Amino acid sequence: RRVCLIDTDPGTDDAIALWLALASPELDLRLVTVAGGNVGLERTLPNARAILGLARSGVPVVAGADRPLLGAFTPETRVHGADGLGGVILPEGPPSAPGIAADAIRDLLRREESVTLIGIGPATNFALALATEPALADRVEEIVLMTGAWAEGNITPSAEFNAWSDPESLGVLLASGRPVTLATLELTAQALVTPARIATLRARGGGVCLDAAARIMEGVPTSRRFDHRGHPLHDPCAVAWLLAPGLFTSRPVHVHVDCGHGPSRGRTVVDRWERTGQAPNARLLETLDAEGFFALLGERLAALP
Ligand code: BDR
Ligand code: CA
């Protein structure tokens, strides 16, 4: 079992990623840290507590950054709604643990020989933890991120939302020297939630978590980019990589994140064709077996309370 922690900004797809991780025996989830992202920290923190509470998980939830390293916080309410969960109301969860995310992350890295960092929001909390005690990076087995895009963005024409929210922090992770795995928009576009897939999920039965996951999926607007056939389930792709790598193909690439202040801020420049001559600093997840992915997701969600 991999010791891991998830840094998140729930977030509709974050909720489903958290439930997938909690339901999966391959992962020993020790900590959930929260940042402002899809909506402000004042919403993402209670959302995270409620998501874990619904699964009757005792994993500690710790509050982190309410803004990026530099610049101002900007939410993304078009996809996730003003409350971050698309209007799906969950019972209030247990209180969060004391302290702040960067300290909790460093404490876990000091205690454990090998920890996998799963990042499904802006990268601020991970960057703060590693930048303030770089030697702890040796304890990081892998950093798996839902972030970036090698073609088009979603929040701007150039940039994917998580990368755009805090490109400086993403740069810290890419320069950490630890193995970084990226689930970009091109990968998550293959995990399209359609009405048929929601119906298949519901048909499994399951408990309150599966029902809430289905309601959350139903509440996310379909995307013009996909001719309104559905919407991509971004964040669970990062978790699924750790559960079933055989569902993916991947290749090593060099990635540069644009930290300029022009129209390409937050763009991940992915050297897929080895034009820069720079050594790879990441593994790009390229293809996903979508049927296998949704079957795994359904099987795992059905096992939760
Ligand atoms: C990413 O941004 C958020 O909207 C989602 O939760 C996901 O982490 C997709 O660009
Ligand atoms: Ca997210």
38 ligand 1 Cβ < 6 A: yes
236 ligand 1 Cβ < 6 A: no
User: Which residues are CB-contacts of 277 (< 8 A; sequence separation ≥ 6)?
Assistant: none
Which tens digits make up the pLDDT trace of 184-211?
A: 999 999 999 999 999 999 999 989 999 9
Per DSSP, the residues of the chain read -EEEEEEE---HHHHHHHHHHHT-TTEEEEEEEE-SSSS-HHHHHHHHHHHHHHTT----EEE--SS-SSS-----HHHH-TTSSTT------PPPPSS-HHHHHHHHHHH-S-EEEEE-S-SHHHHHHHHH-GGGGGGEEEEEEE---SS--SSSSS--HHHHH-HHHHHHHHTSSS-EEEE-HHHHTTSEE-HHHHHHHHHT---HHHHHHHHHHHHSPP-GGGTTS-EE-HHHHHHHHHH-GGGEEEEEE-EEE--SSSTTTT-EEE-TT--S-PPP-EEEEEEE-HHHHHHHHHHHHHT--
Asked if the model's pLDDT at residue 70 lies above 90, the reply is yes
Q: For a ligand 1 pocket test, name from 6, 38, 226 the mutation site with the most ligand atoms within 8 angstroms of its C-beta.
A: 38
Which ligand lies nearest the alpha carbon of 8? 2
Which ligand lies nearest the alpha carbon of 185? 1
Say how many Å lie between the CA of residue 47 and the centre of ligand 1.
15
Q: Which atom of ligand 1 is nearest to the CA of 161?
A: 10
Which tens digits make up the pLDDT trace of 146-174?
A: 999 999 999 999 999 999 999 999 999 99
At 84 the pLDDT is: 87
Which tens digits make up the pLDDT trace of 111-123?
A: 999 999 999 999 9
Instruction: Report d(CA 190, CA 129) in Å as an integer.
Output: 32
Q: Which atom of ligand 1 is nearest to the CA of 79?
A: 4
Say how many Å lie between the CA of residue 14 and the centre of ligand 2.
5
Say how many Å lie between the CA of residue 236 and the centre of ligand 2.
9
Q: Is the pTM of this model over 0.80?
A: yes
Catalytic site positions: 234
Q: How many Å is the Cα radius of gyration of the chain?
A: 18
Percent of the chain with pLDDT over 70: 100
Asked if the model's pLDDT at residue 75 lies above 90, the reply is no
